Amino acid sequence: MEVIRVKDYDGMSEEAASILVERINRLDNPVLGLATGSTPEGLYKRLIEEYKQGNVSFKNVKSFNLDEYVGLEKNDPNSYYYFMKEKLFDHVDISLENVRVPNGVASDLQQECKDHEAAIQASGGIDVQLLGIGANGHIGFNEPGTPFSSKTQVVDLDESTIEANSRFFDSIEDVPTQAVSMGIETIMNSKEILLLISGAGKAEALDRLINGDVTEDLPASVLKNHPNVTVIADDAAFTVIDSK
Ligand code: GLP
């Protein structure tokens, strides 16, 4: 695991954007694993800028999103499909036929999980998977205790995750309690992984990731077993480590 320390959120976004632009330009048919949340928003803004300046094209890009809330329609402003359209897809030359966000309202969710998994495999696998991290160490929506051998599945959200994500909803009762999430094994099958960590709220998770054991209690710790992971973390995320 290579760890790149940057000054702040902007520095993290800039570093991540330059890595992604390089990969997209280098690969003939790049397959990206995309994430939602506040963390990658700045990165997506920069990718849009790079696209507008003619430095990158998404014409040949395929993408798979990590997760989606169960029960939210594509046009629900809180769905991750909506997020991706608003924050990235609508502003670059990616074809919507080439993007796949799990369908959280599929009539057969188990089948939807299998389809997501199969579509990733059929694409040849994810070249670069982007990840954020939950304060409890979750990746995607794989909460502490999720087996490392998990594939795309329907998951129950932790109380703390529901609380953390309630900031986007009118009330905490509106936050879905389940999601479809790529599994940990699905994530680990990616050829390269970029983990972005920003802010003091993630400082404990970063400390546990860097200084702790590989354990299902901290889902992100599995990344230490992957041969090609880059963590980009800002000064605020280092506050717990720095205080030791
Ligand atoms: C959410 C998402 C994750 C994300 C994490 C952190 O629940 N499912 O993919 O990495 O929580 O979110 P944020 O970046 O807003 O802190």
Domains within the chain, CATH numbers bracketed = 2-242 (3.40.50.1360)
Q: What is the chain's pLDDT, residue by residue, as a tens digit (244 residues)?
A: 999 999 999 999 999 999 999 999 999 999 999 999 999 999 999 999 999 999 999 999 999 999 999 999 999 999 999 999 999 999 999 999 999 999 999 999 999 999 999 999 999 999 999 999 999 999 999 999 999 999 999 999 999 999 999 999 999 999 999 999 999 999 999 999 999 999 999 999 999 999 999 999 999 999 999 999 999 999 999 999 999 9
What values do phi and psi take at 68, rounded to 5? -155, 145
Please name every residue paired with 142 in a beta bridge, in sequence order, or none if there are none: 139
Pick the catalytic residue: 68, 117, 127, 143?
143
CA–CA distance, 60 with 24 (Å, rounded to integer): 9
**Cα-to-centroid distance, 67 and ligand 1 (Å):** 10
- Give the atom of ligand 1 at the shortest distance from the alpha carbon of 161: 7
Q: Is the CB of 209 under 6 A from ligand 1?
A: no
pTM of the predicted protein model: 0.97
Q: Is the CB of 42 under 6 A from ligand 1?
A: no
Nearest CA to 187 out of 155, 142, 232 is that of 142
- Taking the mean position of all CA atoms in its chain, how far away is CA 37? 8
**Cα-to-centroid distance, 149 and ligand 1 (Å):** 21
Sign of CA pseudo-dihedral 43, 49, 54, 60: positive
- Is 136 assigned a catalytic role? yes
**Cα-to-centroid distance, 36 and ligand 1 (Å):** 6
- Is 207 assigned a catalytic role? no
**In b/e form, how buried is each residue of 105-123, taking b as 16+ CB within 10 angstroms?**
ebeebeebbebbbeebeeb
Q: Is the CB of 9 under 6 A from ligand 1?
A: no
